[in-house]
Amino acid sequence: MTDPSDYAREIERYLCQKNEGHLVRIVGPAFEQVCGWAVQGVPLKVAFRGIDRCCQRYYAKGPRRRPVRIEFCEADILEQFDDWRRAVGVTVAAGAGEVPEEPKARKTPLASHIERVVARLVSVRGRGPHPGGLDEVVDGVVRELEGLTDEARNARGDRRTALFDRLEGLDASLIEAARKAVDEPTTASLRAEADAELAPFGARLPPDARSQAVAAAFDRLVRDFLGLPRVRYEQ
């Protein structure tokens, strides 16, 4: 497990960057709070994404008057951690038993989800060309999703279930192409990072479950590296 003190210092450095160099020391109760995230197994990059979200929301309110404190980022960090755990299939925290499930936010309507995915895929395509046939797969996924948007607004029952299955299939096709679009050095780096992310949970996961979790973590990192959205719809 990452040493909690080292973990807190990494968080402190990252928060300093987000605060444009203004250092806010993580000490006292805030230090204990951050060390708790390390004990739970919150990967640093997941914590960084939570800090990003908190700071983005803060900056959007207008001119910044004071630096963001780490205490204000906890809700966003834990929400990102919850998303990460669901994505990789991890429910057990190292040394802490079960991690309580956070109340789930209200789901985005299916049609709105598809529209957002299309918008992000178009943005990714504009940053091309990408190797490994990724651009062609993205184009095909966009065309199919555009044809599903209207249907998604009114689909019920079996038809809605079929849409969920189709989105799952499109997501699988997209991530398969994404793996081929990443060069070997980057692939090796992301696999090492995925393994490190799961290290706090390794002793508590059966070998097969750990292998599946590492593979899912790797896919998530590939998705983040290329800026790809998640096509499947979380029910």
pLDDT in tens, 168-211: 999 999 999 999 999 999 999 999 999 988 888 866 778 888 88
Candidate ranges 110-119, 127-136, 205-214; pick with highest mean pLDDT: 110-119
What number is the average pLDDT over the span 135-156?
Answer: 91
Same domain, 9 and 66: yes
Same domain, 87 and 47: yes
Would you place residue 50 in the very low, low, confident or very high pLDDT band (cuts 50, 70, 90)? very high
- Asked whether residue 37 carries a pLDDT value surpassing 80, the answer given is yes
Would you place residue 94 in the very low, low, confident or very high pLDDT band (cuts 50, 70, 90)? very low
Domain presence at residue 105: no
Q: How far apart are CA 80 and CA 74, in angstroms?
A: 10
Would you place residue 1 in the very low, low, confident or very high pLDDT band (cuts 50, 70, 90)? low
Same domain, 200 and 126: yes
What number is the average pLDDT over the span 139-153?
Answer: 91
pLDDT of residue 235: 67
- Classify burial at 113, counting beta carbons within 10 Å of its beta carbon; exposed 0-12, middle 13-18, buried 19 or more: buried
Tokens 């060309």 appear where? 129
Q: How many CB atoms lie within 10 A of CB 144?
A: 17
CB of 76 closer than 8 Å to CB of 102: no
| Amino acid making up residue 25 | R
Domain that holds residue 11: 4-98
Q: How far apart are CA 233 and CA 235, in angstroms?
A: 6
Per DSSP, the three-state class of 92 is strand
Structural domain total, the chain: 2
Domain presence at residue 103: no
pLDDT of residue 64: 63
- Asked whether residue 63 carries a pLDDT value surpassing 90, the answer given is no
Which of 34-43, 53-62, 117-126, 187-196 has the least mean pLDDT? 53-62
pLDDT of residue 97: 41
Domain presence at residue 232: no
CA distance to 6, 33, 52, 159, per residue, from 23 (Å): 16, 18, 16, 53
> What DSSP designation does 98 have?
E
Q: Pairing state of beta strands 97-98 and 92-93?
A: antiparallel
> What DSSP designation does 75 have?
H
| Measured distance between the N- and C-terminal CA atoms of the chain, rounded to whole angstroms | 32
Instruction: Quickly list H helices, the chain.
Output: 4-18, 28-40, 44-59, 74-88, 110-126, 134-154, 157-181, 184-198, 207-226
- Domain closes at, from 98, 131, 148: 98
What number is the average pLDDT over the span 28-36?
Answer: 91
Q: How many CB atoms lie within 10 A of CB 19?
A: 17
Domain presence at residue 231: no
Q: Which two tokens stand for residue 175?
A: 């991530």
- Domain closes at, from 39, 71, 98: 98
CA distance to 17, 33, 194, per residue, from 175 (Å): 31, 35, 16
